[in-house]
Chains A and B, each alone.
Chain A
Amino acid sequence: MKELTVEAKTENLDRVTDFVNEQLEEWNCPLKTIHRIDIAIDELFGNIANYAYRPGVGPVTVRVEIRREPLSAIITFIDRGVPYDPLQKEDPDVTLSAEERGIGGLGIYMVKKSMDGIRYEYKDGRNILTVEKNI
């Protein structure tokens, strides 16, 4: 298991993405799967960076664990910002036309659809969000 703690700022997105990708590459994760995971990182880390400590800043810890049988990556985001469970967000209506469309909720919806598992927990003043993807 490896961990990286950075300030929750969008400028740190590349650092977090590279940190996770390095470990996925060690396990010969297919590029397509890496891209799907990278999109999930963008959505989840981006949410934390934009909302968790607003208007201030604070830390976010990203933990990567590789599990065997089935070979899967478990990525956990931990922040001490305002309690927020993104899984409570209602799924967007993806059948609306361009004019009727808003963009709210699309990111977390994509994560739910593209990952093999997602769970949220609020514990000891921390938001703990975990995604799981078979690799």
Chain B
Amino acid sequence: MTINKQQEGTKLVVALEGRLDTTTAPQLETEFKRSIADVTELVLDFAKLEYLSSAGLRVLLAAQKVMNKQGSMVIKNVNETIAEVFEITGFSEILTIE
């Protein structure tokens, strides 16, 4: 998985490419721990993300909890497989998906 970041002030856009799974989720967790402390607007771009597993959901949930306290988090460009994962797990109610 590749993580691409773009920061403008307190807005951070994180674009993921590949698979967010058991082996790659720790990378994203480390990235969030390092970079979202002062962010008020977090945008996750999933246009090039193939799919995610529960390991990825765990990291997204943790980020959502942080952003609920300090601003907003939006997920963009989810494909059908990812939308289905969010639907099955009820994450579509917890996350903001555009």
B27 interface residue per 8 A CB criterion: no
Main secondary structure of the interface of A (DSSP, over half): helix
CB within 8 Å of B: which of A19-59?
32, 35-36, 38-39, 42-43, 45-46, 49
Q: Among the interface residues B21, B58, B61, B65, which one has the most CB atoms of the partner chain A within 10 A?
A: B21
Contacts A13-B22, A103-B58 known; A95 to B85 CB distance under 8 Å? Answer: no
Docked Cα-Cα span, A95 to B19, in Å, equals: 26
A-B contact count (CB 8 A): 71
Q: Among the interface residues B51, B52, B53, B81, which one has the most CB atoms of the partner chain A within 10 A?
A: B53
Are the C-beta atoms of A113 and B88 separated by less than 8 Å? yes
A114 interface residue per 8 A CB criterion: yes
Beyond contacts A13-B21, A32-B81, A46-B53: 14 other A-B pairs, Cβ-Cβ < 8 A, are A36-B84, A39-B52, A42-B21, A42-B22, A46-B55, A94-B88, A101-B61, A101-B94, A103-B54, A107-B55, A109-B88, A110-B88, A110-B89, A114-B88
Interface CB pairs A-B, < 8 A, 20:
A11-B23, A13-B21, A35-B51, A36-B81, A38-B19, A39-B85, A42-B54, A46-B22, A46-B53, A49-B22, A94-B88, A97-B94, A98-B64, A99-B68, A101-B61, A101-B94, A103-B57, A107-B53, A109-B89, A110-B53
